[in-house]
Amino acid sequence: MAYEREASIFGTARQILMLPHVDGVAVDVARAMGEIDFVLKDMDRTRLDGSAVIWLRELAGLMDFNGISDPELKGRAQVKAESFGVDDLLRFSLVVNDLASWFEKRCD
């Protein structure tokens, strides 16, 4: 089974995370999270290898919105993205890139 949909979504998220961030880094990170969240809900995980499983777990931790309050109604992804430090931003970008590459290779 190929992962065309996942490759497309993670590829889009990877592009969103590339410079420049005209509207701000947090806005683009939140947009990438929105793309990714769309595909995570119903992804077929039966044929994922160990690396992909580890990356998805890490991504789930980075995208954990539990405990995020949004009194200004920006959206929880936006609030979460605004809380990211440099290490979180780097890790999120790297994991998205790794997953985009992994899914793309399964579509060849």
The CA distances from residue 25 to 18, 21, 28, 74, 81, in Å, are 10, 5, 5, 15, 8
The amino acid that residue 89 corresponds to is L
pLDDT value at residue 42? 85
**Quick one: tokens of 13?**
């998220």
The amino acid that residue 81 corresponds to is A
Backbone angles phi, psi at 17, to 5 degrees: -80, -10
Q: How far apart are CA 94 and CA 26, in angstroms?
A: 16
Q: How many residues does the chain have?
A: 108
Question: What's the whole-model pTM score?
Answer: 0.93
User: Burial code of 16-27, b = ≥16 C-beta within 10 A, e = fewer?
Assistant: bbeeeeeeeebb
For residue range 4-55, what is the model confidence (pLDDT) as tens digits? 999 999 999 999 999 999 999 999 999 999 999 989 988 888 889 999 999 9
More confident of the two residues 87 and 44: 87
On the question of pLDDT at 1 being above 70, the answer is no
